[in-house]
Amino acid sequence: MAGLVNRSVDAISNLERGLSLPSLETLERFSEKLEVPIRDFFDFGGPEQGIEKERMMAQLQAIARDLDEATLAIALDQIRVLF
């Protein structure tokens, strides 16, 4: 993990042991490498949010990141129609 987010092994170890907190930049790198929204590091959800729903939301976000603006607009329109 340290290599993926360009941090030292000691820095990651300190995060894992709760001895230090990650910077926003480090959180952004984790988010990118793990392909999860950064809010997932803070959003613990509630009983109404199932794991499967969260997994699908993460997949949608990962797909949306790779779309150009015009295609993303079409995708958003299609989701609105379904809603």
- With a cut of 80, say whether residue 46 has pLDDT above it: no
What separation in angstroms does the CA of 24 have from each of 31, 43, 47, 75? 10, 16, 28, 29
Give the Cα separation of 43 and 41 in Å (integer): 6
Mean pLDDT, range 23-51, rounded to an integer: 81
Top pLDDT among 51 and 65 is at: 65
Residue 9 φ/ψ, nearest 5 degrees: -60, -40
Banded pLDDT at 44 (limits 50, 70, 90): low
69 has a pLDDT exceeding 80: yes
Report the mean per-residue pLDDT for the chain.
87
pLDDT score of 45: 60
